[in-house]
Structure 1
Amino acid sequence: MRNLIVMPAFNEEDSLARTVASLDRLPAGYEVLVVDDGSTDGTGAVARRLTSRLPVHVLHLPVNSGIGVAVQSGYRFALARGGYDYVIQFDADGQHDAAAVVPLVERCERDGLDLCIGSRFLDPAGAGFRSTAARRVGIRFFAALIGALSGVRVTDPTSGLRCAGPRAWRRFAEHYPEDYPEPESLFWCARNKLRVGELPVTMSERAGGVSSIRRLGTVYYMTKVTMAIVFDRLRGTELVVA
């Protein structure tokens, strides 16, 4: 099995090297793609100097295009290069636990999932960072909205830690939401009857950089994503093939 870890990075010079190094314990068969999203700090220079036991590829986008474009660039890379089974999104800010990568892939394999989300809210011990109170309200809102419109129950629709199988990531390579796409892409999978699941993960506070939600503005983010999900619900089911 050959899997690609896509790591979008915008102004993450303080955390990028440590985040990539945290993946060194993964078994053979994993590769890392760092997508430098037009960073204005030293992220690009750090990415060029990265060393890892895993194969590391780097894409440099000429201008900051948003996390949706950065992640889609990763999916397009996987499609063009060929031979990948699963594509895992893993943020560069140090929030995600590398130990969750293999279980996400194994869950997709075992249960035939097209998309598996790493959820910080499924751990019964409540360990790790669960975002701010205001952000949790927004997360619960999107979870309720997606559940009401698709019948698929999720707890962490905005999680940036996720594993996509071929039916999902090949489609995402061609069409993927802009700005902050996690809830929208999750809803697309649910609406089109792809198999979606979650796995408990532990997250940490970001080690550097600024959240893309903060850059967009919370009101704009909530309004834009809500409208996109509602309008997507009006579309007919698409034929999805592997």
Structure 2
Amino acid sequence: MPSEPFASSTWVVIPMYNEATMIRTVVEDVRRHFPNVVCVDDGSSDTSPEEALAAGAVVVRHPINLGQGASLQTGIEYALSDPAMSALVTFDADGQHQVADAVEMVERLHRDGLDIVIGSRFIDDRTNVGAAKRAVLKTAAAYSRFTSGMALTDAHNGLRVLGRDLAGRVKLRQNRMAHASELIDTVGSLGVKWAEHPTHIVYTEYSRSKGQSLLNSVNILVDLFFR
């Protein structure tokens, strides 16, 4: 049984699209610490739903592919249906996030009375980010600082922890990658208590193939400026 404080009142939301290769391992790792996991299957054509179910997750399915933003919103709404939920974690399905970071972030949310803890790969030197990708992500962070007023170092880190009250106020309308900046803009407009937390992002050939390439980073900028 998970021994971390607040584990039983935390939900982990994992958007999922054709992740049969990794999702069982990811869910099993998460559930060693957080028993409540909801995977939102975004119209997968492989066995992702079956793999997630076998690992012990709840699976909510979109009949067609809507995008990561839409999947996160669906997962948030599912987590809110649990009256005991006090916090939720957004977590990627490709194995790049570390559960230990999520545990620390949940504990920090409660300990410091925060509304949201946002992961950053740029606070420490654990994450190896190429120069071109770093430049794109730094540009996205600068854009978010301008639009939200929040001095973030990493606006497009998918590992975040939201308290229940803030989660109930989030209504993502950007279905694809621009949802990350939309979320930050929402947080900035609400004036809630926030902090960044260092996270270790592990880039693998698999995660790059699932959207962590430089081209995808450029797509983030396109989404930002034309959303």
Q: What TM-score range do you get, normalising by the shorter chain?
A: 0.7 to 0.9
Q: What corresponds to 2:174 in structure 1? A: 177
Summarize the Cα distance change of 1:41–1:207 in structure 2 as closer, same or farther, 3 Å threshold: farther
Q: What corresponds to 2:120 in structure 1? A: 119
In 2, distance between residues paired with 1:45 and 1:9?
12
Structure 1's unaligned 5+ residue stretches are 229-242
TM-score (norm 2): 0.85
Partner secondary structure for residue 201 of structure 2? coil
In 1, distance between residues paired with 2:101 and 2:219?
31
Deviation at 1:92, TM superposition (A): 0.7
Q: What corresponds to 1:45 in structure 2? A: 50
Assess if the C-alpha contact under 8 Å between 1:93 and 1:207 holds in 2. Answer: no
Summarize the Cα distance change of 1:14–1:161 in structure 2 as closer, same or farther, 3 Å threshold: same
Number of equivalenced pairs? 217
Summarize the Cα distance change of 1:73–1:97 in structure 2 as closer, same or farther, 3 Å threshold: same
Assess if the C-alpha contact under 8 Å between 1:36 and 1:59 holds in 2. Answer: yes
Assess if the C-alpha contact under 8 Å between 1:95 and 1:207 holds in 2. Answer: no
Q: What corresponds to 2:20 in structure 1? A: 13
Partner secondary structure for residue 30 of structure 2? coil
In 2, distance between residues paired with 1:114 and 1:221?
25
How do residues 97-112 of structure 1 correspond to structure 2 at under 5 angstroms? 97-112=98-113
Are 2:173 and 1:166 equivalent residues in the alignment?
A: no
Equivalent AA in structure 1 for residue 174 of structure 2: P
Question: How large is the Cα RMSD of the aligned pairs?
Answer: 2.2
Assess if the C-alpha contact under 8 Å between 1:115 and 1:196 holds in 2. Answer: yes
Q: Which protein has the bigger helix share?
A: 2
Equivalent AA in structure 1 for residue 225 of structure 2: T
Q: What corresponds to 2:198 in structure 1? A: 200
Partner secondary structure for residue 58 of structure 2? strand
What percent identity do the matched residue pairs reach? 30
In 2, distance between residues paired with 1:218 and 1:122?
19
Deviation at 1:145, TM superposition (A): 2.0
In 2, distance between residues paired with 1:24 and 1:61?
23
Assess if the C-alpha contact under 8 Å between 1:48 and 1:58 holds in 2. Answer: yes
Are 2:83 and 1:76 equivalent residues in the alignment?
A: no
Equivalent AA in structure 1 for residue 55 of structure 2: L
In 2, distance between residues paired with 1:25 and 1:47?
14
Summarize the Cα distance change of 1:116–1:176 in structure 2 as closer, same or farther, 3 Å threshold: farther
Assess if the C-alpha contact under 8 Å between 2:13 and 2:89 holds in 1. Answer: yes
Deviation at 1:25, TM superposition (A): 3.1
Structure 2's unaligned 5+ residue stretches are 1-5
